[in-house]
Chains A and B, each alone.
Chain A
Amino acid sequence: MSQDIYVVIEHLRGQVADISYTMLAAARELSRATSGKVIAVLLGHNAKNLARDFAADQVLYLDHASLAEFTSDAYQKALAELISKDQPRAVLFGNTSIGADVASVLSMRLGLPLVNSCRSFTSEAKFISQICGGKIMAEGELPSPTALVTMVPGGYQPDQGKSVESPPVTESAVPALEALRVTLSKYIEPESADVDISKEPLLIAVGRGIQNKDNIELADALAQAIGGVVCASRPVIDQGWLPTSRLVGKSGKHVKPKIYFAMGISGAPEHVEAITQSDTIIAVNTDPRAPIFNVAKYGVEMDIFELVETLTETVKQAK
Chain B
Amino acid sequence: MMNIVVLAKLVPDLVEELTIDASGAALDLTFARWIINELFDDHAIEQGILLKERSGGTVTVIAPDLEGADDVLFTAAAKGADRLIKVRSDFSAANNHAVARAFSAIIKGFQPDLILTGVQAHNDLDGSAGPLLAESLGLPYVGYVSGVALADGKFMVKKEYPGGLIAEMEVTLPAVFGIQAAEQPPRYVAVSKVRQAMKTSSIEEMDASDLDLSGAPEIERMFQPEAAAHAEMLEGTPEEVSAKLVALFKELGVL
Contacts and interface: CB of A to CB of B under 8 A. Distances in A.
Interface in B109-158: 119-120, 122-128, 130-132, 134-136, 140-144, 156, 158
B218 interface: yes
Given A130-B225, A314-B246, A202 B254 contact: yes
A184 B250 contact: no
Interface in B201-255: 214-225, 227-234, 238-239, 241-243, 245-246, 248-250, 252-255
Contacts of A84: none
Contacts of B178: 100-101
Secondary structure of the A side of the interface?
Answer: mixed
A297 B219 CA distance: 32
B231 A294 contact: yes
A186 B246 CA distance: 47
A104 B131 contact: yes
Interface in A104-150: 104-105, 107-109, 111-117, 126-127, 129-143, 147-148, 150
A143 B127 contact: no
A132 B14 contact: yes
A143 B18 contact: no
Q: How large is the interface on A (under 10, 10 to 19, 20 to 34, 35 or more residues)?
A: 35 or more
B166 A307 contact: no
B170 interface: yes
Contacts of B229: 294-295
Nearest to A311: B242
B224 to A, nearest CB: 6
Most chain A CB within 10 A, of B162, B172, B224, is at B162
Most chain A CB within 10 A, of B119, B169, B171, B249, is at B249
Contact of B126 (A73, A96, A115): A115
Contact of A300 (B100, B165, B233): B233
A131 B215 contact: no
Contacts of B221: 138-140
A67 interface: no
B219 A140 contact: yes
Nearest to A130: B225
B92 to A, nearest CB: 15
A105 B162 contact: no
Given A184-B168, A298-B231, A139 B219 contact: yes
Interface string B162-194: 111111111110010010100001000000000
B170 A250 contact: no
B220 to A, nearest CB: 5
B14 A307 contact: no
A104 B162 contact: no
Interface string A67-107: 00111110000000000000000000000111011111101
27 contacts: A12-B165, A101-B144, A102-B131, A103-B127, A104-B128, A109-B135, A111-B214, A114-B97, A114-B216, A115-B126, A117-B124, A132-B12, A134-B225, A135-B224, A136-B27, A138-B25, A186-B168, A187-B168, A228-B254, A238-B185, A252-B164, A259-B249, A296-B231, A298-B231, A299-B231, A307-B241, A315-B242
